[in-house]
Amino acid sequence: MTRTADRAPLVELSGVGKHYGNVRALEGVSLRVHAGEVTCVLGDNGAGKSTLIKIIAGLHQHDGGTLALEGEATRLSSPREALDRGIATVHQDLAVVPLMPVWRNFFLGSEPRKGTGPFKRMDVDLMRRTTRAELLRMGIDLRDVDQPIGTLSGGERQCVAIARAVYFGAKVLVLDEPTAALGVKQSGVVLKYVAAARDRGLGVVLITHNPHHAYLVGDRFVLLKRGATVGNHERDGITLDELTRQMAGGNELDDLRHELQRD
C-alpha cells in the first residue's frame, strides 16, 4: 500500500513501557500504524499484548516512552478519549447484548433519535436501514438485521463490530485476537473484513498468536515476548516460515529439539 513519505503514522509508540508495581508488563516497545496498512502484534500468552491494547485504547496510561497520534505526543486518559480521537477497539469478548437485534447492537450507545420533547424516540427505521446498508458496504449480507446478534456465528459478530467501527468514523481499528476461537472458514471471513477495513483507509492493529493469519493480511509485524520487542519487520523483510519460526521460539526451539533428540 503506497503512502506519502512525509505522512505521520496514525499511531506511533516509541520505547513505550508499563509497570504494575515491580512487575514489568511492557518495556521499550515500538510500533507504527499507518493509514491503509495492517500492523500485526504477535506473541504468546503473557507477552504483553493485552497491556499494549489497553494503552492504545486509553484504558491504561504508559509510564515510559511516548505515544503519538498523527505526530502529536499524547496520553490517552480514557477509552472515550481514544474513541473521540478515532481509535476503536474490538475486544475478544465482544461488547454485545446477545438477545438484542443486530441493528440495536450496531448503534448501542449512539442511537439516533427523532421527534422533540416528550415525543422524542429512537429512530428505529433509520437504524435498521443504516445497519443493513453499512454491512452491505463491507460486503456482509446478513439474512435479517432484526435477528438477535447472539444467533450469529462468532465470525459474523466480529464482522458486525468491524463494520460498526468503520461507520462511526474510526481511523484506527484495534482487533484483539479476532480469530482465536474460530475455525478455518470463519477465520477467513474475519480476515477478509480486516482487509476491507484496510482498503477503506483505516490503520488496523491485529493482535494475534497465529502467524499464518497475520501473514495473510499484515504489512508490519511486531513480535513480543515477556513484555519486550523481539522482532519488528516489514512484510518485504520476512517470510512466513521465518515469522513462524520466531513466533515459535526461534533459537530456543532449536535448543529444545537438540535436547529431545534420541541418542
Rounded to whole angstroms, how far apart are CA atoms 91 and 11?
18
pLDDT bracket for residue 89 (50, 70, 90): very high
In this prediction the pTM is 0.86
Q: Span 226-235, mean pLDDT?
A: 92
Residue boundaries of the structural domains of the chain: 11-96+169-260
Cβ atoms 6, 70 nearer than 8 A = no
pLDDT bracket for residue 250 (50, 70, 90): low
Share of the chain above pLDDT 90, in %: 56
Could you tell me the three cell numbers for 186? 470463519
CATH of 11-96+169-260, one of 3.40.50.300, 3.50.50.60, 3.30.870.10, 3.40.50.1390: 3.40.50.300
In the sheet that holds 172-176, the strands lie side by side as 87-90, 172-176, 203-208, 38-42, 220-225, 228-234
